[in-house]
Amino acid sequence: MQQRQLGRSHLEVSAVGLGCMGLSFGYGRPVGKEEGISLIRAAVDQGITFFDTAEVYGPFANEVLVGEALAPVRDRVTIATKFGFDIDPDTGQQRGLNSRPGHIRQVVESSLKRLRTDRIDLLYQHRVDPEVPIEEVAGAVKELIGEGKVRHFGLSEAGAQTIRRAHAVQPVTALQSEYSLWWREPEAETLPTLEELGIGFVPFSPLGKGFLTGAIDENTRFESNDFRNIVPRFTPEARRANQALIDLIGQIAARKAATRAQIALAWVLAQKPWIVPIPGTTKRHRLEENIGALSVSLSPEDLAGINAMLSTIAIQGARYPEHLQRLVGR
Q: Are 43 and 1 in contact (CB under 8 A)?
A: no
How crowded is the C-beta side of 206, counted as CA atoms within 13 Å? 29
Indicate which residue of 57, 124, 179, 320 is catalytic. Answer: 57
Q: Is the dihedral of CA 248, 156, 163, 316 positive or negative?
A: positive
User: Please, what is the angle between helix 260-271 and helix 300-310, to 10°?
Assistant: 110
In terms of C-beta density within 10 A (0-12 exposed, 13-18 middle, 19 or more buried), how is residue 157 classed?
A: buried
**C-beta of residue 230 within 8 angstroms of C-beta of residue 307:** no
Question: Cis peptide before 59, with omega less than 30 degrees from 0?
Answer: yes
Respond yes or no: is residue 179 known to be catalytic: no
Q: Could you tell me if 19 and 3 are in contact, meaning their C-beta atoms sit under 8 angstroms apart?
A: no
The burial of 303, by beta-carbon neighbours within 10 Å (0-12 exposed, 13-18 middle, 19 or more buried), is given as middle
The set of catalytic residues is: 57
